[in-house]
Structure 1
Amino acid sequence: MSTAQSLSPELAAKVERLDALLDSIATRHANVKLASSLAAEDMLLTHAILSRGVKIGIFSLNTGRLHAETLGMLDRVKERYGYDIEQFHPQAAAVGQYVSEHGLNAFYESIELRKRCCEIRKVEPLNRALADVSAWVTGQRRDQSVTRAELHEEEHDGARNIAKFNPLADWSEAEVWDYLKTFDVPVNPLHARGYPSIGCEPCTRAIRPGEDSRAGRWWWESRDTKECGLHITAITPIAVERNENASA
């Protein structure tokens, strides 16, 4: 039995759809990139792209505050796939000014200061990373949080005037992990320590039993503010999504 055949029929169908979507994205867009947090969902997409040679680039935002375990995933991807994930860093001057004016960990003090930190360390580098593409890909899923419940598989990113794809929008957490285990995909060791969602070290904690998967992100804030700005700027759903029954 092949690796793919060991999947449940339902998940095997989703994997087939995922591969077809990634192939379609690469065909439709000559310049397209996956924004990888180096966490579970993005490692799934990394494997789906690199193991099949799909022409989609991969980059990560090195905020300067990531866990050592997260940074270690860069080497693991290189070892497994022979691929160097491109890194984008925040502007040193902007980081220095923020720290000088507010303090290194001022994001704990208010939502405004937290979002400003995210703007400097994540959003501005993301804009540079996407400056030369016509589309980008994310590992977002609908059931990750209330802020992603209406997530679409294909959207238009109006802020950057490019297409945006969320191929795992309708995947469950269990399905993600079934895939990772079946294909023996490298994963961030923090996941095994209770971190389903991993961001910057001072803004991420392990979750408690019964909490949703993003409860450990900016845990001092209310659930409806838990986004850093990467995914909430002028996003418009594409009117017609792919027909779920097209291959039936």
Structure 2
Amino acid sequence: MKLSLPPDWPTTPQAAIALQQKLRSQIETSDRLGSVHTVAGVDVGFTEAGTVTRAAVAVLSFPALQLVESQIAYQPTTFPYIPGLLSFREVPAILVALSQLQTQPDLLLCDGQGIAHPRRLGIAAHLGLLVDLPSIGVAKSRLTGTHAELPPEKGSWVPLHDRNETIGAVLRSRTNTQPLYISSGHRISLETAIAYVLQCTPKYRLPETTRWADKLASNRRSGPQSPPPCHNNQQMNLFG
């Protein structure tokens, strides 16, 4: 995948918010995806007191959920941490990690929001739009919106509303555990997003894609299980 940042990538919060307002109308929340044979998890961590961004992507086969390929990229952190502007801090390194892949994923699952965002452009939506791939926001906490009480059983979900708009779903991915906040990123409907997230969470609260990417992004040595052989699982330092 040959990817790069747009030349007008914002460097200030004001410019970032203006770009979100501009791009939000380009997000597609209906299904435009082909057959899904690979799913990718994307996650980000920080090192050197936050000055270096460590982005990880893990590509898994689907529906078997076996690791196919992983990549890690390091980039200078150039944008401050501001709730609602996560993509501008994390996407530059994510694009480098994605560009190193030999296997193009059919679907991205991001550790963050899709359209369940005050300006409907969370990191999953923004990233999906930039790389033109179907994407899902799988967040561990709520950024905005309200919802009804959620039943405790796995597979239960209720809509997440912001005023009169359904912006996502609160999903119980495992019985009697904290829920996940699912929303369309790009090129996928909410109902389809929920179905894929459930298929990617056979045992634990978090999708296998997220668990693999989190291990890599946080610099833990092994994944959720011993990985099968894969053709590219190296760490590449692109900091310089």
Which band: TM-score by shorter chain?
under 0.3
Taking structure 2 as the reference length, the TM-score comes to 0.28
Taking structure 1 as the reference length, the TM-score comes to 0.27
Structure with higher helix content? 1
Please say which structure displays the higher CA radius of gyration: 1
Structure with higher strand content? 2
